[in-house]
Amino acid sequence: METKFSLVSGILSYEGHGKKGSIDCHVPEIGGMLNDDEFGCRFLCSPYFSAGSDFYKVNVTDEKGRKHTLGWVIPIGLLDEVEDIYKDFEDIQIRYLHVCAHKMIDYCLKNELLKQEKGTMEDLNISGDLILLVYRLDICSTADINDFIPSFFDKGYHFIEDPTQIDLGQYPYSSFRQAKVDEFKDDDARTSLNIKRVSPVFTGNKFVKMLFNGSLVNIRDPYLRYFSLYQVIEFLMVVVSGNKYYEYVEQYRKEGRHKMKEKLISLTNESTLISMIYEIGYGPYAQEYKNFIDAAKDVIDKIDEKSIKEGSHFYEYMYKIRNLVVHNYIAMREYKEEMDYLTYMFEALIVDLICRTNIKAVENKLIYVIDRDKSARSNRRAFRKALGEVGIE
């Protein structure tokens, strides 16, 4: 970080970006300060977490199931509290507060949001609703931090770019999520947020960032929100279909034409593709999936639609609700309250899918590989011939 800092007797001096000055700092001095350059910082806001007490450690579990500290979420107001409040903080919290203050001042200097040479934290031209995520770069790089956006969204946080003006009224508010947040806060044993990274198939996916940082922020209508979330299923269906095409062609190359036609035709059936997506099962969200099934069944029965067989999988109810929203929207409009609840649950289950799926994308060009020793053009011709032999045009 370009800016250098020195804290002496409650005065935080800084020099960087062609400016120098000082700010009154109430955060107490402490030994063993952390290295600012080992941390990244992102701006958040939340309609659910706004108090100074909403200061939480953020844990993340790696692919081997080991838990690591990603960092801390820190309300901006904690940088300018009365000194008595800090006496109950752990040393690591104080150290993270100092990193937070340094990152914030550096940002303000860089963007000319701090023009006084001497002042207080209140002189930072920053919204009081700002929350900072200070995270360890050895756990997550700056380029990869967006892979946590869906999981933070599920907890009630939104990633933002401009910390100077935050209007919490523009962000969606759910009484169902508020109840979940209240339950979290009422449990004194819970002092950390458990966050998940998206699965590799979604790593760096611009659509996922746009969905959770754009569409779901701007859309209030539960029917449109449900349809927007369903696009994750559509995306995975394309990936699964491509993977299976390659798998079946490889089988044909090794074993002959046995059942290839039937297998390829099966990939045109949406229900079949969705069932492949959910081969991972329910995982730790088994009760949430059951709750969705119960609520979806109630809506389906009210519309007098053909009932789904008892004991059917979650995805059959999910797909049925999607079809009702698309093809029977007028009737569905009578059940907005029920759709609010269904969509809230669907959000959590889509985040679970995004973070837990083991689907991996196979490049489409591999579909045509019949003989790896031949050119791409020869393989495409051989692939078309293979399809023609089993009656697929």
Same domain flag for 42 and 150: yes
Structural domain boundaries enclosing 34: 4-197
- Asked whether residue 33 is assigned to any structural domain, the reply reads yes
The per-residue b/e assignment along 328-343, b for 16 or more CB within 10 angstroms, e otherwise, is eeeebeebeebbbbbb
Indicate whether 355 pLDDT > 90: yes
Does one domain contain both 152 and 296?
no
- Number of residues in the chain: 393
Let me know whether 292 and 168 are in one domain. Answer: no
- Strands of 17-170 (E only): list them: 19-24, 39-45, 56-61, 67-75, 118-119, 131-136, 158-160
Q: Which pTM value belongs to this model?
A: 0.86
Residue 12, in any domain of the structure? yes
- 284-342 confidence digits (pLDDT tens): 888 999 999 999 999 998 887 677 777 789 999 999 999 999 999 999 999 999 999 99
Q: Is residue 388 one of the residues assigned to a domain?
A: no
Which neighbouring-strand residues pair with 133? 42, 73
Q: What pLDDT shows up at residue 118?
A: 81
Whole-number pLDDT of residue 319: 94
Task: Verify that 164 and 276 share a domain, yes or no.
Answer: no
Give how many domains the chain has, as a whole number: 2
Asked if residue 168 belongs to a domain, the reply is: yes
Is 83 part of a structural domain of the chain?
yes
If asked whether residues 239 and 112 sit together in one domain, one would say no
Instruction: With respect to residue 114, please indicate whether it lies within any of the assigned structural domains.
Output: yes
Burial class (CB in 10 A: 0-12, 13-18, 19+), 30: middle
Report yes or no on 46 lying in a domain.
yes
Containing H/E element for 180? helix 175-186
Indicate if 281 and 185 belong to the same structural domain.
no
Please report whether residue 214 resides in a domain: no
User: What is the 8-class DSSP label of residue 250?
Assistant: H
Look at residue 365 and tell me whether its pLDDT is greater than 50: no
Last residue of a domain, one of 180, 197, 214: 197
Mean pLDDT (the chain) is 87
